[in-house]
Amino acid sequence: MIFSLQIPLLLLLLVTAAGAIMVKDLMSAVLLLGTYSFFLSVVWGWLGAVDVAFVEAVVGAGLATVLFLLTLFGTAPKDTRFRRPPPSLAVLIVFPLLGLLLLYAAKDLPEFGDPNSPASVHISPIYLEQSYQETHTPNVVTSVLMDYRSLDTMVETVVIFSAGIACALLLRRHSK
């Protein structure tokens, strides 16, 4: 039953993405981008990546939309329509070729969920088998993110922190 939903879901994803690019009004583009994130989070959930789906729904469809809207109101309050120049010839030639190249390369990717793919034979089995005994954390994603790869997560937190600091430094200095 779930498999019958795949094609409509991917079509909706394509339609909202193309709509966000094509639509004239910037406000509609922002809202379409939020819809796109929502459908993308459904696709993540369908692929079994529930944590990623959660982040996509909360950040992509929620927070990012608010930030885009605030930026829009702060920069173009009266007229949010946008006149887009027609794409140049180079774009029309290069991007379809790039797409064909990627499709050609995707042929060599392992099957979805293949237990013999390089990603699932290296260190993932060790995490899956031992993380509960070692950390008492049933969610393997959390134990990998916060324990085995804790230093990486700390640097990600530093990235978020510096993003906030950079926004404050750039945007808050016009007052007084």
Partner 1 sequence: MIRPHDSIIVQTLGRFLIPVVQIFGLYVLFFGQYGPGGGFVGGVILGTGMILSVLIFGHDASRSQIAKKILHGDGVGMLIYAGVGGLCMIGGGEFLNYANLEIPGLETASRRSLGIVLTQIGVAVDVAVTAVSIVFSLSAEEIIEDSING
Q: Which residues bind partner 1 (CB under 8 A)?
A: 50-51, 53-55, 58-59, 62-63, 66-67, 70-71, 74, 133-139, 141-143, 145-147, 150-151, 153-154, 157-158, 160-161, 163-165, 167-168, 170-172, 174-176
CA angle (37 as vertex; 138, 154 as ends), nearest 5: 45
Beta carbon nearer to partner 1, 98 or 163? 163
> Rounded to the nearest whole angstrom, what is the least distance from the CB of residue 107 to partner 1 in the complex?
32
Buried b (16+ CB within 10 A) or exposed e, 100-110: eeeeeeeeeee
SS3 71: helix
> Which residue number, 31 or 53, has a Cβ lying nearer to partner 1?
53
Exposure string of 4-34, with b = 16+ CB inside 10 Å and e = fewer, is eeeeeeeebbeebbebbeebeebbebbbbbb
- The distance of closest approach from Cβ of residue 27 to partner 1 in the complex, given in angstroms and rounded to an integer, is 16
Report how far Cα 121 is from the mean position of its chain's Cα atoms. 26
Q: What is the Cα–Cα distance from 163 to 176, expressed in whole angstroms?
A: 24
- Nearer Cβ to partner 1, position 6 or 157? 157
* 15 vs 145, beta carbon nearer partner 1: 145
Kindly state the smallest distance separating residue 69's Cβ from partner 1, in Å: 9
Q: How far is the CB of 100 from partner 1 (least distance, A)?
A: 36
What is the closest distance, in whole angstroms, from the C-beta atom of residue 131 to partner 1 in the complex? 10
Which amino acid, residue 20?
A
48 vs 99, beta carbon nearer partner 1: 48
